[in-house]
């Protein structure tokens, strides 16, 4: 398997759903199935926070959600936990600035997808050097999904990265909804990533479809 191309990565980043067992009262698999039916293009298993599963329980949930994604042809990304990603042959990993060094992770995962969080031009450049396939940039807006989130940066951080010549696929994260997705795409993001906009929605399928439509409409400008 070769490295994902930049073009395919940008397509996959259109509607990037992220969740774990702590993001919904409902079983994660039920929410994920609805999100996949609604058209999410990429999924990240992020098992964090108060009450997060560990060890065998975490791996069992990961495998269950991975099977669902495989049935829909949607790549399955694991947040933080590189060893879990390798153990279950996930399609990729996402690491933040305080996780394992991106260069080391690239060495461990070979051609799998590598996503890196970046908050500024310096971190973005370092992630590109380390072999990232995409950057997660944000929080763009205030978020309720990440306990230790940094200050919301607004869409301008995306413009600053593009003006600095950062051409790598970028997904915006943090407080994104169907109502503000167009703004972040116009500011330079290739797609949007969400937790609560889908996981906390009364109808996750409709929420995913609305996000997909907002991103599609914004791209055709």
Q: Which of ligand IFP, Mg ion, none has residue 136 at its interface (CB below 5 to 8 Å by kind)?
A: ligand IFP
Q: How many residues bind ligand IFP (CB under 6 A)?
A: 13
Q: Which of 9, 10, 16, 204 binds ligand IFP (CB under 6 A)?
A: 16
Is residue 36 part of the contact set for ligand IFP (CB under 6 A)?
no
Helix (H, G, I), strand (E, B) or coil at 83: helix
Q: Which of ligand IFP, Mg ion, none has residue 193 at its interface (CB below 5 to 8 Å by kind)?
A: ligand IFP
- List phi, psi (to 5°) of 115: -110, 140
Is residue 92 part of the contact set for Mg ion (CB under 5 A)?
no
- Give the DSSP letter of residue 73: T
Handedness of CA 141, 146, 147, 148 (dihedral sign): negative
Pick between residue 68 and residue 78 the one whose CB is nearest to ligand IFP: 78
Which residues, 6 or more positions from 30, have their beta carbon under 8 angstroms from its beta carbon?
none
> Each residue of 27-46: b (16+ CB within 10 Å) or e?
ebeebbbbbbebbbbbbbbb
Instruction: List, by residue number, the catalytic residues.
Output: 46, 117, 146
**Distance between CA atoms of residues 106 and 89, nearest Å:** 14
Q: Select the residue whose beta carbon is closest to ligand IFP and give its number.
A: 136
The contact pattern for ligand IFP, residues 84-123, with x = CB under 6 A and - = no contact, is ----------x-x------------------x-x------
Pick between residue 59 and residue 99 the one whose CB is nearest to Mg ion: 99
Is residue 80 part of the contact set for Mg ion (CB under 5 A)?
yes
C-alpha dihedral over 31, 36, 40, 42, to 10 degrees? 90
Binding site for ligand IFP (CB under 6 A): 16, 18, 44, 46, 79, 94, 96, 115, 117, 136, 171, 173, 193
């Amino acid at each position: 398997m070769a490295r994902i191309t930049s073009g395919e990565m940008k397509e996959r980043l259109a509607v990037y759903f992220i969740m774990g067992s702590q993001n919904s009262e409902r079983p994660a698999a039920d929410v994920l199935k609805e999100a996949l039916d609604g058209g999410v293009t990429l999924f990240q298993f992020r098992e964090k926070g108060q009450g997060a599963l560990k060890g065998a329980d975490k791996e069992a949930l990961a495998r269950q959600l991975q099977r669902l994604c495989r049935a829909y042809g949607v790549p399955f990304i694991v947040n933080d936990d590189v060893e879990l990603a390798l153990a279950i042959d996930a399609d990729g990993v996402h690491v933040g600035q305080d996780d394992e060094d991106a260069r080391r992770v690239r060495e461990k995962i070979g051609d799998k997808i590598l996503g890196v969080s970046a908050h500024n031009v310096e971190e973005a450049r370092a992630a590109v050097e380390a072999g990232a396939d995409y950057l997660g940039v944000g929080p763009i807006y205030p978020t309720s999904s990440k306990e230790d989130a940094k200050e919301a940066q607004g869409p301008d951080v995306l413009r600053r990265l593009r003006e600095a010549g950062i051409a790598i696929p970028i997904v915006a994260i943090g407080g994104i909804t169907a109502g503000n997705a167009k703004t972040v795409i116009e500011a330079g993001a290739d797609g949007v990533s969400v937790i609560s906009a889908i996981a906390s929605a009364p109808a996750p399928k409709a929420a995913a479809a609305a996000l997909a439509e907002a991103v599609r409409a914004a791209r055709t400008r």
